[in-house]
Every structure is written in C-alpha cells, then in structure tokens.
Amino acid sequence: MDEGGSRIRRRVSVCKRNRPSLASICAPTTRTELEPGEEEEDEEDVMAGSRRRKTVGLQAVEQNDSEEDMFGDYDSFAENSLLAQVDDLEQKFMQLPEHETHAADFATEDLCSENIKNKLSITTVSNCTEYKTDLHTKNQSEHEDVPLEPSDDLLYAVPSSQVLFFENLQNSSNDLGDRSIEEKDRNSFSYKTMNEELLGHIEEPQQSDEFSSKVRTSSDMNRRKSVKDHLKSAMTVNAKAQTPVFSKSKQLKEKLLSKEINVAKKAIESPSDDRGPFYSLPSKVRDLYVQLKGIEKLYEWQHTCLTLNSVQERKNLIYSLPTSGGKTLVAEILMLQELLCRRKDVLMILPYVAIVQEKLHMIGEGSRGAILEMTLAKILYTSKTTQIIGMSATLNNVEDLQEFLRAEYYTSQFRPVELKEYLKINDTIYEVDSKAESGMTFSRLLDYKYSDVLRKMDPDHLVALVTEVIPNYSCLVFCPSKKNCENVAEMLCKFLSKEYLKHRETEKCEVIKNLRNISSGNLCPVLKHTIPFGVAYHHSGLTSDERKLLEEAYSTGVLCLFTCTSTLAAGVNLPARRVILRAPYVAKEFLKRNQYKQMIGRAGRAGIDTVGESILILQEKDKQQVLELISRPLENCYSHLVEEFTKGIQSLFLSLIGLKIATNLDEIYHFMNGTFFGVQQKILLKDKSLWEVTVESLRYLTEKGLLGKDTVHKSEEKLQCNFHITKLGRASFKGTIDLAYCDILYRDLKKGLEGLVLESLLHLIYLTTPYDLVSQCDPDWMIYFRQFSQLSPAEQNVATLLGVSESFIGKKASGQAIRKKVDKDVVNRLYLSFVLYTLLKDTNIWSVSEKFNLPRGYIQNLLTGAASFSSCVLHFCEELEEFWVYRALLVELTKKLTYCVKAELIPLMEVTGVLEGRAKQLYNAGYKSLVHLANANPEVLIRTIDHLSRRQAKQIVSSAKMLLHEKAEALQEEVEELLRVPSDFPGTVGASLEKA
C-alpha cells in the first residue's frame, strides 16, 4: 500500500480519535509548534493540505467568510489530496461495466472484496446517525495513531447540518419525477455508499492506476454530479451553518440509563439473583430518591419485602406495617418496575380526593370499600397476569383478604421512630404498658403553674402539654368536631407567650399574605389571630387551597401546631413529635381501635425526631372503656357489598352485564363466589344464601327496568336465562348514577322537558344538584326566604314548577305551621341550588359563605359534587334519545361548575397551574386563549405577571402546548375518520380503495 493511502488512513484515525465534526476537519487550521519527540510531517502532507489536529497544543480555528477561500488547501487537487483521490475514484468507478448495467447496485462485491483491510460505514437509522468503524491493519507499527473503537457515536463527531444536508440531498433526488431508475440511482447520492466506495477504493491504489486510463463519457458527466462537488457543497453548508451544541455528558447519561433499563428488564425476566442496579431499576432511580427525598438506603424490612420470591415472581402481595414504616416507598418501587422495565400500566386506587397524593386502603369502609372490592374482583376475574399489591397499617383478619386476592402476606412491626403511648387523667400522666395488670403505669405529674382563669379556660391542661413541645418541635391536637378545632386553636393562642410571635416571624407573615392572595383578599379571622403564634386549625371547612398552604407551612416548620379532626389521621402525611387526643370520641361516637391507631401513628418523624409521643386525654368515667380500647385487637375488615345495596351488589351486577363480563345467572354466581363478600358469606349472610341474594338482586334490576331477559334453550331439563342491559340501565351504567336515584333522575329530567326554564341557569342547576347531599342539608329559613324574594319572576317560576312557593318559605321562616304537603327533598335540593346559582354569579366562595352562613369548605365540596354529578347526568342523557336537548346545555354547565369563573377565563383555567387569580392576571395581560399561552415566552411571562416564578411560567407554557397539541390531534383524528373508507362499504371497490 502506498504512502497516500497510509496518510489518508492516518488522517481518518486522528480526526476520529479527537472527535471533531466534519466541518472542523474541512476548515483551515493554523500550524502548531511540535512537542519534543513529535515527528515532523513530511512536505507532501503539508502541500496536500492535511492539517490534522494534534492531541496537544491545539489552537482555535480561524473563521473565513469568503466562499472561495473557505476550504484553504483542501480546495487544491494536488496529487494524493483527499478530494483528488475522491474525484479520481469516481472517474474510475463510473467506467466500470457493472455500473452501466447495474446502476442500482452501487456497492458491489468486487468493490468490497476480502482484501479490503479498512472500512468506514455510516448508517442512518431514523434521525440518529451512527459511526461504525472497524480497523484491521497488518502493519500497526507503521501508524502513530490509536485505532478507533467500534462503537463511537456520530453525534459527538458530526454536526447536525451534515446529516441534514445528505437527508435533503436524498429527498430531492427522490422527487425528480418520472426519470428512469438508472438516473435516479445515479443522482440519489447516499452518504453511506459514498464512504463505502470512497474508502473501499482507497485501500486498493494499484487498481486505481489501472482505471486511470479510462475516460468517462460526457453523458455520465451530465447525468451525475461528482462526489467532489457533493463534498464541496456539503463543506460549504457545514461551514456556514450554526452547529447545535450536543451535551456529551447528558447523552452519556441517557445512554447509560437506557442500558441499565435493558439490563434490569432482562434481570426481571431471568431466574437469576442479580436484580439490576437498584431493585431491578436503573441506578438513576436510586440517585433521584437520594436527591429528591434524601433516601440513601432502604430499611431492612423494605429490602426483604422487595426481594421476596413472591414479589419477584409477580404474585399478588399484601403487606402490613405500623404507620410511618415506609410502606409507600415499596409500592413506588414496584410501580416503577412495571412502568420502566416491563412497560406496563399501573393503577393506584385511593379512597379520598383529599389524600390522592398520600396513599391509604379502605376496602372495609362503606361505599368506598364496596367500589374498591368490585374493581379488584373484576380484575381477578378477567385477568390472570395483573399483579395486585395491597398495603395497610391496620389489619386483623388478613386471611380473608389473602383468600380474596389470592395473595402472599408480609408483615413487620418495624417503626423507624419509637412511639410511646400515654394516658392523661386529671393532672396525672400514665404510660400504656401491656405487661402491667391495669394496662398502664404511672409516668409523671404535670408541673405547670395555672392561674384560676387559665384553669377555667383550659381544664384539660392543653397549654401545658403543647408548650412542652412547640415551637422547636411539632404537635397535633385531635379534636372531636370542626368547631372545637377552631375554639381550641384560639384558646391556646390567648395563653401562649408573646415570644412565640418572634419564631420565624417573616415566614408566618408570608403565609398570611399567600392565604389572602388565594382568597381574593379574604382571610379567616381565626387564622389571622393564630398563625402569628405558629398555630392553625385543619378540617374540611377549609378550602383545598387553604389546606395546601397550611400543610406546606406545617411541613416546613413555619407552623408548629395543628388542631385537627380525625380526617387528618386517614393518610395526610403530617407527622408530629407529639400527638394529643382531646377526647376519646369522634363527634359523639367512641373511638374505634383502628381510628386510635391511625391518630397516634402520626407521632414520630423519621429523620427528624428520635421519639414520638401520643397522649390521650380522658375523664374518669371513660377510663375502663379506654383501657379496653388500647388493649383489644384491631377490628376486622368486612365486605360492604350487601350493606351498600344500590352502590354495591346491584351496581356490580349492572356493570358485569353491561361490560359482558358475566351475562347469565351461573356466571354471575360464580363471579360472586370470588369476591371478598363471597369469601365472608358465612359470616355476613345469616338468613339467606349467596345464591338467593344473587337471584333477588337480578330480579330487582329486571323489575326496575334496568335489565332485560333472553331465554336460551340449553338442554331438555334446564333453561338458562341470559340478561341484557336496557337503555335506562345503560344510561345509569354509563353515567355511574347511584341506582337508588336513577328512576328519580329520569322522572325529574322528563318533567323538566315539560317546562324547562332557560332564562337563567337555575333550572339546570337544580337538575344537576347531587341527590346524596340533600339529606345533609339543613336550611336556614330566614336566609332561604331572603334569597327567594330576590329571585326574578322567571327564576321564581322554576320554584313554582317544583311545587315550592314564596309563601311556603315565608311561613317556614316565621315558624308557622304548614298544612300544604311539599316534598322535603325538593325543598332542600332547591336551597342547595340557590347556593350554587349564587356562587356561579358571584364566583367568590367567601361572599357566598357569608350570605348563606355555610363553611367555605362545604360550599367548595358542594360545587365539586355538582360539577361531577353534572358530568354524570350528561352521560346519562347521551344514552337516551328523548333527552337530546340536555346534551348541549349540560356541556357548558359542567364547564361553569368545574371552574366557577367568568366565561372568558374558562379556556385559561384548563391549563395546569392556572387558578382563578392567575387566570385574571393572564387575561388582563392579554393572554386570552390557549393559543396565546402556548406561544408565550416564559421569560416575558415572568416580567409581565406578578409573583410568577420561572418554574411556574414554564409549566404554564408547556401545559398549554400539550393541551393545544391534544386538541389538534383530536381534530386530525376526526378528519382522518371522515376521509376513511367505511369498513362496511359495499362491493370490492371499497376494499381496494382502502388498501390503496
């Protein structure tokens, strides 16, 4: 092999090793001083313009804007220069006989013979171009450069403009029209083919000498641009184009993450003990837990649970530990395994909207438990591959749950922070001790100087108990009622030292300011008084925005004490150093063991406190009952399918038939045997069998007109009935309407069609006011009469149609006896409709709360329930043709109830992170639509909108873009659906058109 070929190979190796872009290879460079021991380049290399980069002593590349001088010495065609050999190579190749007859076979076996020692292949897959270099040389000692590694990435070496150039070049050649295949192949120059033939022929210079005697024909010259011209054109584009900067470290991390996911995926599927870098997950997950949550190492029980054979084999699992034991982390890791490694979906079911971010099970509680049981039963019946994970802090009859879920069970008594339980009777505090005969042992006497006034105001010594902890540590005081929470918070602040006002004073002022901002300038007078002391109340009377702000302030230590109801114990992650139970009651009911364990489980914060304390305050009269409470086992968990009859077993049967999971008596009975209720049927059913309950429920649904029967002849001895869902049943099923109200809803909607009042929204609002909230309503008749008298004639006409008159309300307000029979539920429902109607007009929860003397949290819950029920009624009406008029009307009403803002703000409220106050700011700044926000510049938003952080601005813009993209995709799908040939198109013409 001659020196020219050797030099070219050396250039390729040096450039590849130092990873410059092709543009930088082709640009002029400045000669650098040689380091000691470095060999001088021979004169021929210098004349040929081979300005290769050195590994040391590099200088900056000089810019040259002149296109003629852009390539410097590389533009010369001296013997052995790169472009000269390329040009010579093309001339030789164009005269090959094979090329004239087989233009499509651009790289033939003759050109890629086994004598080729070096080859450089460049392949483009989708938008990613990779270099694959395989160097094998006989005389390695002749080269001073390190050989190339086979898996180097083009992203680090080639600018994107180079890739785009060849893509555009190939695309343009494909659009040449009706040329012959030969002409297309000659003009569509492939980057891959160019390099293969270029370097392939460089390896055989002797063959080049043989080809040099042949001359290309003029027709070939006209048909095909030379490789030289393509290279020069590409170099011109590259030199002028601005090359995007690729983050090498970022791409290395992404490459490593992808590799680890593949490794973890293989590990999950293999029986090996090697489960991947972090419990079958990439190490990136472990790093994120350290970075975001400060979790550097898992507890021993967590490690044991995650490495159980049952978990690795994807069997169903129930695990139970005390509160604060770290159960959620295990669930998160298992979900991430499904999402990242197995590429499967995950569904997490939670009982309360308020704790959607906090995770708890509630299978044994009322209608929520019945819905959860139905969902799990359907999964178990229809899918054998879905894995179910159940977690709980309080479980007793776990064997029943195991049988129902066909699950393994893991439990541990581990708690990261020790919990000490105390009882307080008068001035004495006792420690709960299961070893003691009485169940408790003396601990200490309260030592706190009480004045007569303080003793009268605080007979339970709450001030003494909380001041032992706050402000340096946090404290929760559980109270029996919402009103008691507010009273206790105010009482405590009356007797706290003024020194408490100085603790994190600036941050507490910021909390008050933020509360005003989210409430349109309003602030609860109780919170205004208590927050400066670091105290606040927490119950359902707060709005969701208020709760969120207060919880954040408590979590960060700005607030040190919450007076709260038992709902906070049901999963909201707000632990404390000390938990005080104001009384052993929830409302008027005595505490259950499970409730007690949930409350005291809030005590002790892992990583912050070394110990947690709970103190239950009790009177002497409750002593024996409390001792039984702390010593008895946890209550059993039971199915609620039968107790919640319309929301339970009947709804289940309707959905089974509607979804065609089970359609006859035998199938439905078989399904019922697999439910949690089926497991506990001997305990729960005393007078009837499961078969009788199943038959009665199906008969009830049939008589109510929700199901129909189809008799199928199965054998000579037995007839089998198949059930089908009726239109009313499908409407109830699709609208998820409680079956107790489906016939009432149908009757109300039907009656509404006879005289629907559309001069205002009141009539529609009445039809979408939730039925299940009516029984909780206790109208203030004076307020009722005042609001009624302010109605317009058209609005009063709605009340008249419902049978409610102004005189009826007036007599109620004055306390007079009423002889006229009026449906109480209608009257109460109309009162709630007035609340909602006023709220939609004012769009201010605080003003409506004042007008109707109702807690703002209650009004917000009413609004949320009405928006949800309005959506349900809409789906109900969509299934029944006679209610066509409601469809368009309810779409707009649902939006109004969902956002409860003026109509012009609704499009902005769809964007994540935009509430009413922010929507007003954006609208006033000129951002009046989704398109405006999608095209907004976050930096401009920050300067335009007050109190908007960069993170929030970016979130708003990205959310708007996503919503806009989704709407565009929906429209595109609609267009495609309109243009698609129907599948039932008659004849063969439709089939052939569809294929085309």
* CA geometry: angle 577, 580, 586, nearest 5 deg: 135
Contacts of 425 (CB under 8 A, 6+ apart): 618, 619, 620, 623
Distance CA 360, CA 394 (A): 10
* Out of 441-445, 773-777, 779-783, least confident range: 773-777
Tell me the average pLDDT of the chain. 76
Is the pLDDT reported for residue 108 higher than 70? no
Token readout for 524 is 């609860």
- Is the CB of residue 440 less than 8 Å from the CB of residue 432? yes
Coil, strand or helix: which one is 314? coil
pLDDT attached to residue 618: 94
Q: Which one is predicted more confidently, 151 or 488?
A: 488
Using the predicted structure, report yes or no on whether residue 732 has a pLDDT greater than 60. Answer: yes
Q: What is the mean pLDDT of residues 397-424?
A: 92
Mean pLDDT of 537-560: 92
| Confidence check: pLDDT of 913 > 70 | yes
Residue 951 neighbours by CB under 8 Å, 6+ apart:
none
Q: The tokens of 78 are what?
A: 């001296």
Q: Which of 259, 188, 634, 702 is nearest to 267 (CA)?
A: 259
Is residue 771 within 8 Å of 741, Cβ to Cβ?
yes
Is the per-residue pLDDT at 177 higher than 90?
no
Q: Largest alpha-carbon pair distance within the chain?
A: 122
Could you tell me the pLDDT band of residue 151, with boundaries at 50, 70 and 90?
A: very low
Tokens matching residue 505: 């004073």
Is the CB of residue 360 less than 8 Å from the CB of residue 569? no
Tell me: pLDDT of 180 over 80: no
Between the two ends of the chain, the Cα-to-Cα distance in Å is: 55
Whether the predicted pLDDT of 372 surpasses 70: yes
- Span of 131-135, 176-180, 712-716 with lowest mean pLDDT: 131-135
Cα(295)–Cα(286) distance, integer angstroms:
8
Query: Mean pLDDT, to the nearest integer, of 645-669?
Result: 90
pLDDT at residue 382 greater than cutoff 90: yes
Angle between helices 806-814 and 781-789 (to 10 degrees): 150
pLDDT per residue as tens digits for the range 470-516: 999 999 999 999 999 999 999 999 999 999 999 999 999 999 999 99
pLDDT for residue 56 is more than 70:
no
Checking if the pLDDT of 736 tops 50, the result is yes
Q: Compute and round to an integer the Cα radius of gyration of the chain.
A: 39
Task: Return the amino acid letter for 861.
Answer: N
Q: Of 9-23, 488-502, 804-818, which gets the smallest average pLDDT?
A: 9-23
pTM for the whole structure: 0.68
What size, in residues, is the chain? 996
- Which is higher by pLDDT, 112 or 757? 757
Backbone angles phi, psi at 632, to 5 degrees: -75, 155
Give the position of tokens 């799908």.
973
pLDDT of residue 78: 41
Instruction: Record the tokens describing residue 377, joined without a space.
Output: 């039963």
Name the residue type at position 841.
Answer: K
Identity of the amino acid at 907: P
Per-residue confidence (pLDDT) for residue 648, from 0 to 100: 84
DSSP H or E segment with residue 699:
helix 690-703
**Lowest mean per-residue pLDDT among 164-168, 624-628, 820-824, 977-981:** 164-168
Q: Residue 713: which pLDDT band, with cuts at 50, 70 and 90?
A: low
Stretch 909-931: mean pLDDT: 90
If you average pLDDT over residues 232-252, what whole number do you get?
Answer: 57
Tell me the DSSP string of 574-643: --BSEEEESSSEETTEEPPHHHHHHHHTTB--TTT-SEEEEEEEE-GGGHHHHHHHHHSPPPPP---TTT
Q: Which residues pair with 444 in a beta bridge?
A: 429
Whole-number pLDDT of residue 137: 40
Report which listed range, 13-17, 282-286, 615-619, 785-789, is most confident.
615-619
DSSP secondary structure code for residue 664 in this structure: B
What's the token pair of residue 253?
Answer: 């991390």
User: Does the CA dihedral 892-898-903-906 come out positive or negative?
Assistant: negative
| Whole-number pLDDT of residue 253 | 60
Quote the DSSP letter at residue 135: E
Using DSSP, state whether 408 is helix, strand or coil: strand
Average confidence (pLDDT) over 610-623: 92
What's the CA gap between 630 and 608, in Å, rounded? 27
Nearest to 676 by CA among 404, 406, 409, 407: 404
**Of 225 and 963, more confident:** 963
Highest mean pLDDT among 157-166, 388-397, 589-598, 741-750: 741-750
Average pLDDT on 258-274 reads: 58
- The Cα–Cα gap between 876 and 38 comes to 85
For the purposes of burial, counting CB atoms within 10 Å of the CB of 411, is it exposed (0-12), middle (13-18) or buried (19 or more)? Answer: middle
Summarize the confidence of residues 272-290 as an average pLDDT: 75
pLDDT at 263: 62
Higher-confidence position of 808 and 136: 808
Residue 701: pLDDT above 90?
yes
Asked if pLDDT for residue 690 goes beyond 80, the answer is yes
Q: How far apart are CA 797 and CA 792, in angstroms?
A: 9
- Show the DSSP H helices in 772-855 as ranges: 781-789, 793-801, 806-814, 824-842, 845-852
73-77, 389-393, 808-812: least confident range: 73-77
112-121, 305-314, 690-699: lowest mean pLDDT where? 112-121
Residue 604: the pLDDT is 86
Residues with Cβ within 8 Å of 237's Cβ and at least 6 positions away in sequence, in order, are: 161, 162, 165
**pLDDT tops 70 at residue 357:** no
Q: Residue by residue, what is the 3-state secondary structure of 723-765?
A: EEECHHHHHHHHCCCCCCCHHHHHHHHHHHHHCCCCCCCHHHH
Mean pLDDT of 825-846: 92
The encoded tokens of residue 549 equal 């702000």
Nearest-5° angle of CA 42, CA 46, CA 49? 145
- How is 907-933 classified by DSSP, letter by letter? HHHTSTT--HHHHHHHHHTT--SHHHH
The number of C-alpha atoms within 13 Å of 592 and in the hemisphere containing its C-beta is 9
Residue 617 is predicted with a pLDDT of 96
Please say if the pLDDT value at position 837 is more than 60. Answer: yes
Helix (H, G, I), strand (E, B) or coil at 992: helix
10 Å Cβ neighbour count for 381?
16
- Predicted local confidence at residue 873, as pLDDT: 96
Query: In 533-630, where do the E strands start and end?
Result: 535-538, 561-564, 578-581, 585-586, 589-590, 611-618
Q: 725 and 655 in contact (C-beta within 8 Å)?
A: no
Please give the pLDDT value at position 505.
Answer: 95
Helix (H) or strand (E) holding 443: strand 440-445
pLDDT, residue 718, reads 65
- Output the CA torsion 486→489→490→491 (10° steps): 120
pLDDT at 890 over 90: yes
> Considering only CA atoms, which of 578, 485, 591, 487 is closest in space to residue 540?
485
Unique residue bearing structure tokens 């404390």: 576
Phi and psi dihedrals of 838, rounded to 5? -65, -40
CA–CA gap between residue 812 and residue 830 (Å, rounded): 15
Query: CA nearest 622: which of 678, 578, 584?
Result: 584
pLDDT score of 257: 66
Q: Which residues contact 373 (CB under 8 A, 6 or more apart)?
A: 363, 639, 640, 641, 675, 676, 677
Tell me the two tokens of residue 946.
């007050």
Contact 343, 264 (CB under 8 A): no
Locate tokens 């409601």: which residue?
886
What number is the average pLDDT over the span 643-664?
88
Residue 330 has pLDDT above 50, yes or no: yes
pLDDT at 574 over 80: yes
Residue 230's pLDDT is 62
pLDDT at 724 over 90: yes
| Dihedral (Cα; 413, 417, 423, 424), 10-degree rounding | -170
Top pLDDT among 435 and 92 is at: 435
State which amino acid sits at residue 918: R
- In this prediction, residue 322 carries a pLDDT of 84
* 466-500 burial code (b ≥16 CB/10 A, e <16): bbebbbebbbbbbbbbbebbbebbbbbbebbeeeb
| pLDDT, tens only, 17-52 | 343 333 333 333 333 333 434 443 344 443 334 333
**Whole-Å CA distances, 111 to 48, 80, 115, 194, 660:** 26, 20, 10, 12, 65
In the chain, what percentage of residues exceed pLDDT 90?
40
645 or 382, greater pLDDT: 382
User: What is the C-alpha separation between 79 and 817, in angstroms, rounded?
Assistant: 117
Contact 376, 345 (CB under 8 A): no
Nearest of 365, 300, 305, 309 to residue 331 by alpha carbon? 305
Residue 976 has pLDDT above 70, yes or no: yes
Is residue 831 within 8 Å of 779, Cβ to Cβ? yes
> Rounded to 5 degrees, what are φ and ψ at 442?
-60, 135
Q: What is the DSSP letter of 643?
A: T
pLDDT score for 865: 93
Mean pLDDT of 337-357: 72
| Nearby residues of 85 by Cβ (< 8 Å), 6 or more positions away | 4, 8, 202, 208
Least confident range from 246-255, 369-378, 718-727, 972-981: namely: 246-255
CB 852 within 8 A of CB 833: no
Could you tell me which residue, 133 or 746, shows the higher pLDDT? 746
Q: Which residue has the higher pLDDT, 984 or 329?
A: 329
Highest mean pLDDT among 156-160, 231-235, 761-765: 761-765
**DSSP class of 964:** H
